[in-house]
């Protein structure tokens, strides 16, 4: 008996995760159909995606680019409705005809749409780690209240999810710790003192994964792993001290769970985002992802090492903000987004990213935050302070 098609909204469809999501969907037209797509500025790629998948809606965040897309759709006789209203992302994420939402917008900009999908009880495939880093307990409460099914798409968190027992009520009693693996990025063996001279192109040249520029820089600083530690805490409900990070340069083991009896369960595979995407789309089933199969006979040695605090000082900030007042992870995320943008624009040095993050955490006064409006206000305040700190480092 065939299953009804899942109608999917892809938030951030022109980014690397969005493109890979559409690749998986295209392989299974009998299971999935695209309801809506969203992007910021990539009009031509969005046009191609509309031609291929014929969604009902296409959201362009920029009104200028929305008008350009509308004109091109008319020229190509494609009946896709273009939206750019402030609430358009929330609308396509919570629409009654949508079953599944892929949340792949980079940064805190995707938080509102993720909250809307959670409140509407959707199957929410979370590739936007900032929804949890910024939203924290507030976001998880929306998931519970709305009855949403939250499935992590980050390769590490998907690996943890696949390695945990199905009954989430027993995790705390059975699990000793979770171990997030990290590739170490392009600078795993580079002398710490030389990192000040790193260029944006060098930082974006990841040895294993093909990703967008922001997340590539986060991988180079290992701030991506710091944010993933925060994300893991909220996703799996474990204490911060039960989360460990180990560098695994080959990116074959995507993460591990160590149980109370010291047994370790790991998820392995080629470094291809289509694997966790296919898992999230089809869960609890498994479908072909298009990724290359793992050939154990061709593997080089799998090695592991501890992160170097001198080379990756930002990693420790994860446990610092988890031990601090609620809302502190939102401050760290905002500061990091500002710092990475300044680095990519060549306004600050690579090692200044950590300086901006650390100084912002020291400067922002965080009071207890209990709602999304408070978190958004804290995010805005943190960005203003981080911007001023980055500007001082420019001079």
Residue 138 in domain:
yes
Structure letter (DSSP) for residue 284 = T
Structure letter (DSSP) for residue 294 = P
**Domain CATH for 15:** 3.40.50.720
Radius of gyration of the chain (CA): 20
Same structural domain, 147 and 36: yes
The last residue of one of the domains, among 153, 182, 215, is: 153
pLDDT band at 4 (very low <50, low <70, confident <90, very high): confident
Host domain of residue 297: 159-270+292-394
Domain count, the chain: 2
Residue 276 in domain:
no
Own/partner long-range contacts of 166-174 (Cβ < 8 Å, ≥24 apart): 168/237, 171/236, 171/237, 171/238, 172/237, 172/238, 173/260, 174/259, 174/260
Q: Is the pLDDT of residue 291 over 80?
A: yes
Same structural domain, 128 and 237: no
Same structural domain, 149 and 163: no
Express each pLDDT in 151-164 by its tens digit. 999 999 999 999 99
pLDDT band at 109 (very low <50, low <70, confident <90, very high): confident
Please give the full DSSP string across 29-69, using - where no structure is assigned. Answer: TTTEEEEEEEESS-HHHHHHHHHHH--SEEEESSHHHHHHH
Same structural domain, 225 and 329: yes
Q: Is the pLDDT of residue 282 over 80?
A: yes
CA 393 to chain centre: 28
pLDDT band at 68 (very low <50, low <70, confident <90, very high): very high
Q: Is the pLDDT of residue 173 over 90?
A: no
Same structural domain, 57 and 112: yes
pLDDT at 1: 52
pLDDT at 196: 92
Q: Is the pLDDT of residue 207 over 80?
A: no
Runs of H (alpha helix) within 204-306: 213-221, 223-236, 274-282
Lowest-confidence segment of 16-30, 160-174, 294-308 by average pLDDT: 160-174
Residue 284 in domain:
no
- Could you tell me what percent of the chain has a pLDDT over 90? 78
pLDDT band at 110 (very low <50, low <70, confident <90, very high): confident
pLDDT band at 180 (very low <50, low <70, confident <90, very high): very high
Q: Is the pLDDT of residue 145 over 70?
A: yes
The last residue of one of the domains, among 118, 153, 188, is: 153
Mean pLDDT for the stretch of residues 10-25 = 96
Give CA separation, 236 vs 202, 319, 328, 370, in Å.
34, 16, 19, 20
pLDDT at 373: 87
Structure letter (DSSP) for residue 305 = B
The last residue of one of the domains, among 153, 172, 196, is: 153
Same structural domain, 250 and 299: yes
Same structural domain, 319 and 174: yes
pLDDT band at 2 (very low <50, low <70, confident <90, very high): low
Same structural domain, 219 and 174: yes
d(CA 276, CA 297) in angstroms, rounded, equals 23
> Angle at the Cα of 230 (from 224 to 235), degrees rounded to 5?
115
């Amino acid at each position: 008996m065939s299953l009804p098609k899942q109608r999917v909204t892809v938030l951030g469809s022109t980014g690397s995760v969005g493109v890979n999501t559409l690749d998986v969907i295209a392989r299974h037209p009998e299971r999935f159909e695209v309801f809506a797509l969203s992007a910021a500025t990539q009009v031509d790629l969005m046009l191609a995606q509309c031609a291929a998948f014929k969604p009902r809606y296409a959201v362009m965040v920029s009104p200028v680019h929305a008008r350009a897309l509308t004109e091109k759709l008319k020229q190509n006789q494609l009946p896709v409705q273009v939206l750019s209203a402030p609430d358009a992302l929330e609308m396509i994420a919570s629409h009654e005809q949508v079953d599944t939402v892929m949340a792949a917008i980079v940064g805190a900009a995707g938080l509102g749409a993720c909250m809307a999908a959670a409140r509407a009880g959707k199957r929410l495939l979370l590739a936007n780690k900032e929804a949890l880093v910024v939203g924290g307990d507030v976001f998880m409460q929306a998931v519970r209240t709305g009855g949403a099914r939250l499935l992590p798409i980050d390769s590490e968190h998907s690996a943890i999810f696949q390695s945990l027992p199905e009954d989430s009520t027993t995790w705390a009693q059975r699990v000793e710790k979770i171990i997030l693996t990290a590739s170490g990025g392009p600078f795993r063996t580079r002398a710490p003192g030389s990192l000040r001279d790193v260029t944006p192109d060098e930082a974006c040249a990841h040895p294993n994964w093909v990703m967008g520029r922001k997340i590539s820089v986060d991988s180079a600083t290992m701030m991506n792993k710091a944010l993933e530690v925060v994300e893991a805490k909220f996703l799996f409900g474990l204490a911060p001290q039960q989360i460990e990070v180990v560098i695994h340069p080959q990116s074959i083991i995507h993460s591990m769970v160590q149980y109370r009896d010291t047994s370790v369960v790991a998820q392995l595979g080629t470094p291809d985002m289509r694997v966790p995407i296919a898992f999230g789309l089809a869960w609890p089933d498994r479908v072909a992802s298009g990724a290359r199969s793992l050939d154990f006979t061709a593997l080089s040695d799998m090695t592991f090492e501890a992160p170097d605090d001198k080379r990756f000082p930002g990693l420790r900030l994860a446990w610092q903000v988890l031990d601090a007042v609620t809302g502190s992870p939102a401050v760290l995320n905002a500061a990091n987004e500002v710092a990475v943008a300044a680095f990519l624009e060549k306004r600050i040095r690579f090692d200044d990213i950590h300086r901006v993050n650390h100084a912002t955490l020291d400067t922002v006064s965080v009071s207890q935050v209990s709602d999304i409006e408070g978190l958004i206000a804290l995010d805005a305040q943190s960005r203003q302070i981080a911007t001023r700190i980055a500007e001082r480092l420019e001079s």
